[in-house]
Amino acid sequence: MSGSDHNPAGEAIGAKAFVPSRRAVLVMGAAAASTVVTIRPALAQTAGSIINCEIPVPGPHAGGNFIAPDGNLVAPGTPGAAAPLSRPLRGEEVRSLLRSGSTPAGVDPQSAQAYANYIRRLQSGMSGFTCYASLQMPR
Amino acid sequence: MKHRLSIQIGPVAFRIGSAWAQPLDALARLYAAYPEPEDGICDFTVRLEAEKPWRRYFRPSVAIRGDYILPDAAPLSLAHGLLAAEMGMNLQMALGQKRYLLLHAATVEKNGRALIMTGESGAGKSTLAALLGERGWRLMGDEFALLDMDSGMLLPFPRAVSLKNGAIAVMEAQVAPGRFGPRLEGTPKGDIRHMRPNRNALSRMGEGAMPALILFPRFGAAQAVRSVGAAEIFMRLTQASTNYVSLGRRGFDSLTRLIANNPALAIDYPDTDSAIGLVDDFWRELAA
Amino acid sequence: MRNARLLVRALGDPASVRACDWAGLISAARAEQLIGSLAFRMEGQAVPPRVAAIFEAARRDSAQARTQALWEAEMAHRALAPLGLPIILMKGTAFHAAGLDASVGRSVGDLDIMVPHDSLDAVEAALIGAGWEHVKDAQGYDDEYYRRWMHELPPLIHRTRDRMIDVHHTILPLTARPRPDAQAMIAASVELENGLRILCPADIVVHAAAHLFADGNLAGGLRNLWDIDRLLREFAAQPGFWASLGECARLHQIGPHVGRALRLSHRLYGTPVDKAVAGRARLTDLLFEMRLLARNGWGQEKAKALRFAFYVRSHWLRMPPLMLARHLWVKARS
Amino acid sequence: MAGPVFATDPEAQVSAVELDGLSVLFHAPSGMTHIVAAPAPQILDALRIGPADAGELLARLRAWYDFESDDEVADAVDARLEELEAAGLVRRA
């Protein structure tokens, strides 16, 4: 959301016809700024209370594949890619990994980033997605 | 199912079925003072069942299922069956509750007006609400606040308080042992002990209250109070609500009304005593 | 009585439901995704206050689900309109868009559309340009399998709205034995006010029957059969409907499945059906009925062996034996 | 060269509540809630006069407002329209 806290023409919204009472200055924002935030369904805050979930990295459909730093699956043994995790990550581990980058026990920080990016790329239908969705903060 | 139990918590009735006796025995003891649903009808069904048929006996693991389920849920060990039952009820509320706007928030009431405390888990709202509930406030709920979209009133949902780690000892020092469930060690959320709200909270579980103040508490930092802008409150409350989006215009109308009618403050607190002091101060000012 | 049977009776004859295992009825309805339909059917019946409140919330919820489904269709329409193609809504979204009786309380998951086969690439590109993305990595066996043998593109999901779209070019996998005539379906489709299209009434029923009996393992079958009941009752009022249903079923090689759909809809929901199109009752109808009703009042699946048999059948129907063997082999190794 | 023409929904379809200078919009056709900052609400108002391309839209806004700076205003309008289109709040007419 852009930092424009002041909306000089705000009072006009909802009026039947648009009649500005005075000439106001409109801040158009930079081309790259964002002025629309859509409210998305949220489970994140309740995740700990409603689900004990795990995310396999990678999922069973890609067993054996390595994970590149950007989170993509690559052939086993690819240089610079992280080996598959031998155990699934618990929900709380994923939450702190995604939020603060803190590394799950027994995982080196560089691989952890690859795993985090893999998890961020999970989509509906993939193993671990609902767990991720329930932990995820709004985009 | 082989073992079954029905419980009424505030306006919501659950029936819980289980493949094992242990989780329901523990649940029945913890919820001993709660009414059964008067009409025998339940809003939600929770099932605790073996993940695979042979896992009923061999390394038993409890899968949490029911009317509404999330895939990817990992089972809990049978020793944590009570937690599984609690999570199962929470899950039904989070995914299936459409009668009320549901906020992930703790609520307490005094003189007919309710205080809403919300924040991410770990912010301490649950402990704070439990403590206030023993100090002259009525505990309406430590986990979910139910906002009636027609009246704007908050309805109690006084399930057993879920105390985690350090909060367990804090409450054990103040509350009679008979109100606690078993201490569950090494759960995915750490150590957990459930605590039944007091008699006042249970006997008045049918009695709602109009909200008066919204607090965003945060435990751990030096004491500080700041006001929160209305747009930020809106954003935070939509993220604290599991059903806002699915309620459509009624959700929008009731949430914007809640924000228009109630002041909101963010408080940082280093210890629970200072938080309780702050809350009592705010309340006096509001009443004045 | 199994609660799936109670659910079926409540849908078919709401007035017959008095005192009953309400919690069981509600759990079975939720498990079969029929809670919205049940809530509308039971509107106006004398039910206990808590049940009335549950139904009221379910009716409100389905109004919201309807808004979402129609909005997804609208956004797909906006993305695809520049291509100037016929875009045919299917299944639940089509029922809602056309205001059919089958839409009352009907939940909708994914958006299903059908477009001409030779426009698939353009449609996929336009959707990706408008914010949809591939669900799985568009590489490897799954993707290849989809593009070669399936009746639809690999599923796409919208980046911000988290809703899936299935883009069909016909109604059954190309590996299945019946070969429906997709071009004829598109040619016979009907335009709605907003420019989107739906299949003609007979083809809607043909598709529903193909989806239920020729493609899947009957999971969620009670809901699909309830669609068929509602569709048949509404369309039967149009002159010549039964004859055209028989013709379309033959044209698309779905005759036996349409017959089965009519017979089971009649058995379970009491739907008045045309005897010629329905055909003679078969002993296997009973197995299908048992499979459809394999749900108890705790919402649990029952009759595991029968469920498994129908799971195997669903693969058998979709693939010739050698291909099935290769498919299972690749799946087992992955 | 005239670019694409954009349209928006009538006011009755969009409930707006002002919070802190931001607008919270409930968009009835989609059932979605959006929080929007200036100049998004002003663009929606300007489009309610009738469909317009980016140039015409900018002319309407100029008639009502001064701009803080004239640099890259056209680019900003394009960017805002793209966002609003992605959110479903404006569509190609």
Q: Tokens 């069956």, residue?
A: B81
pLDDT digits (tens, 9 = 90+) for B110-129: 999 999 999 877 778 899 99
All residues at 6 or more sequence positions from D71 whose CB lies less than 8 Å from its CB, including other chains:
none
Instruction: State yes or no: pLDDT of D36 exceeds 90.
Output: yes
- Name the residue among C199, C201, C224, C227 with its Cα closest to residue C213: C224
- CA–CA distance, C325 with C70 (Å, rounded to integer): 40
- For residue B228, the chain D residues in CB contact (below 8 A) are none
DSSP string for C205-225: HHHHHIIIIIIS--TTHHHHH
The H or E element that residue A95 is part of is helix A91-100
pLDDT of residue C215: 78
**Which residue among C71, C81, C160 places its CB closest to the CB of D29?**
C71
CB contact under 8 A, C78 and D86: no
- CA–CA distance, B245 with B255 (Å, rounded to integer): 11
pLDDT of residue A136: 63
pLDDT of residue B288: 77
CB contact under 8 A, A45 and B121: yes
CB contact under 8 A, B238 and D33: yes
Crossing angle of the two packed helices B248-261 and B230-240, in degrees rounded to 10: 130
**Which residue among C68, C75, C81 places its CB closest to the CB of D31?**
C68
**In chain C, domain spans:** 5-333
**What are the φ/ψ torsions at residue D26 (nearest 5 degrees)?**
-100, 115
Which residue of A lies nearest to C161 if distances are taken between CA atoms? A40
Sheet strands (E) in chain C: 88-89, 111-114, 132-134, 156-158, 164-168, 190-191, 197-198
CB pairs below 8 Å between A and C: how many?
29
A38 pLDDT tier (thresholds 50, 70, 90): very high
- Name the residue among B118, B117, B120, B98 with its Cα closest to residue B108: B117
On whether the CB atoms of residues C79 and C130 are closer than 8 A, the answer is yes
| D16 domain residue, yes or no | yes
| Chains sharing 3 or more CB pairs under 8 A with chain D | A, B, C
pLDDT digits (tens, 9 = 90+) for A45-92: 777 787 788 888 888 777 778 999 988 888 888 898 999 988 888 887
Instruction: State yes or no: pLDDT of C321 exceeds 70.
Output: no
Q: Count CA within 13 A, CB hemisphere, residue B204.
A: 20
Q: Minimum mean pLDDT among A95-104, B82-91, C292-301, D1-10: which range?
A: A95-104
Q: Minimum mean pLDDT among B27-31, C189-193, D70-74: which range?
A: D70-74
Percent of chain C exceeding pLDDT 70 equals 93
All residues at 6 or more sequence positions from A70 whose CB lies less than 8 Å from its CB, including other chains:
A114, A117
Residue D8 tokens, joined: 């928006």
* Cα B248 from chain centre: 24
**What are the φ/ψ torsions at residue B65 (nearest 5 degrees)?**
-135, -175
Please state whether beta strands B44-50 and B101-110 pair in parallel, antiparallel, or not at all (unpaired). unpaired
- Name the residue among C57, C3, C64, C13 with its Cα closest to residue C35: C57
pLDDT digits (tens, 9 = 90+) for C322-334: 666 776 666 665 5
A139 pLDDT tier (thresholds 50, 70, 90): very low
The residue segments making up the domain with residue D29 are: 6-87
pLDDT of residue A26: 86
Of C229 and A138, more confident: C229
CB contact under 8 A, C67 and D88: no
On whether the CB atoms of residues A29 and A125 are closer than 8 A, the answer is no
**Which residue among C71, C81, C131 places its CB closest to the CB of D30?**
C71
On whether the CB atoms of residues C210 and C230 are closer than 8 A, the answer is no
Q: Which of A5, A38, A51, A134 to mutate to test the interface with B (most CBs of B within 10 A)?
A: A51
DSSP string for B11-33: TEEEEEEESSSHHHHHHHHHTTT
Find the DSSP H helices in C81-215.
91-98, 120-129, 140-149, 182-188, 201-209
- CA–CA distance, C260 with B221 (Å, rounded to integer): 68
- For residue C27, the chain B residues in CB contact (below 8 A) are 45, 67
Q: Count CA within 13 A, CB hemisphere, residue C135.
A: 19
- CA–CA distance, C33 with C11 (Å, rounded to integer): 13
C319 pLDDT tier (thresholds 50, 70, 90): low
Instruction: State yes or no: pLDDT of C136 exceeds 80.
Output: no
Name the 3-class secondary structure at D17. strand
- CA–CA distance, C175 with C179 (Å, rounded to integer): 9
On whether the CB atoms of residues B245 and D33 are closer than 8 A, the answer is yes
All residues at 6 or more sequence positions from B210 whose CB lies less than 8 Å from its CB, including other chains:
B112, B113, B114, B152, B153, B154
Residue C137 tokens, joined: 């990595």
* Cα C133 from chain centre: 24
Q: Which of C17, C64, C161, C302 to mutate to test the interface with B (most CBs of B within 10 A)?
A: C64
D44 pLDDT tier (thresholds 50, 70, 90): very high
Residue numbers in chain B where pLDDT is lower than 50: none
CA angle C119, C122, C124 (to 5 degrees): 105
CB contact under 8 A, A13 and D41: yes
Residues 151 through 180 of chain C touching chain D, CB cutoff 8 Å: 160
Mean pLDDT value across chain C? 91
All residues at 6 or more sequence positions from B269 whose CB lies less than 8 Å from its CB, including other chains:
B124, B217, B218, B219, B221, B223, B275, B278
CB pairs below 8 Å between A and B: how many?
84
* Cα A102 from chain centre: 16
- CA–CA distance, C293 with C313 (Å, rounded to integer): 18
Give the residue numbers in B contacting D (CB under 8 Å), as ranges: 229-235, 238, 244-245, 248-249, 252-253, 256, 259-260
Percent of chain A exceeding pLDDT 90 equals 6
Name the 3-class secondary structure at B286. helix
- For residue A50, the chain B residues in CB contact (below 8 A) are 70, 87, 90-91, 94-95
- For residue B39, the chain C residues in CB contact (below 8 A) are 48-50
- CA–CA distance, B112 with C33 (Å, rounded to integer): 40
Mean pLDDT, range A2-20, rounded to an integer: 40
**What are the φ/ψ torsions at residue B72 (nearest 5 degrees)?**
70, 0
Exposure string over C8-19, b if 16+ CB within 10 A, otherwise e: bbbbbebeebee
- For residue B241, the chain A residues in CB contact (below 8 A) are 42
Asked if A87 is an interface residue toward chain C (Cβ–Cβ < 8 A), one would say: no
- CA–CA distance, D61 with D46 (Å, rounded to integer): 7
* Total residue length of chain C: 334
- CA–CA distance, C172 with C206 (Å, rounded to integer): 11
On whether the CB atoms of residues C212 and C254 are closer than 8 A, the answer is no
- Name the residue among A44, A15, A62 with its Cα closest to residue A130: A44
Find the DSSP H helices in chain B.
22-30, 81-96, 125-133, 166-172, 199-203, 230-240, 248-261, 272-287
Of A30 and B259, more confident: B259
Instruction: State yes or no: pLDDT of A14 exceeds 60.
Output: no
- CA–CA distance, A36 with D40 (Å, rounded to integer): 8
| D13 domain residue, yes or no | yes
Mean pLDDT, range C42-51, rounded to an integer: 95
In eight-state DSSP terms, residue B163 is E
| D93 domain residue, yes or no | no
Find the DSSP H helices in chain D.
40-48, 54-64, 73-86
All residues at 6 or more sequence positions from C117 whose CB lies less than 8 Å from its CB, including other chains:
C169, C170, C182
Asked if D71 is an interface residue toward chain A (Cβ–Cβ < 8 A), one would say: no
CA angle B216, C162, A112 (to 5 degrees): 70
In eight-state DSSP terms, residue C166 is E
pLDDT of residue B100: 98
- CA–CA distance, B188 with A135 (Å, rounded to integer): 14
**In chain A, domain spans:** 42-136
How far from each other are the two terminal CA atoms of chain D, in whole angstroms?
17
- Name the residue among B206, B170, B3, B147 with its Cα closest to residue B85: B3
On whether the CB atoms of residues B114 and A38 are closer than 8 A, the answer is no
Total count of domains within chain D? 1
- Name the residue among A133, C11, D61 with its Cα closest to residue B72: A133
- CA–CA distance, A45 with B87 (Å, rounded to integer): 14
What's the pTM? 0.89
Please state whether beta strands A36-38 and A73-74 pair in parallel, antiparallel, or not at all (unpaired). unpaired
CB contact under 8 A, D35 and A10: no
CB contact under 8 A, D35 and B234: yes
Mean pLDDT value across chain A? 75
Percent of chain C exceeding pLDDT 90 equals 72
- CA–CA distance, B49 with B75 (Å, rounded to integer): 9
CB contact under 8 A, B49 and C300: yes
pLDDT of residue A7: 37
For residue D89, the one-letter residue type is: L
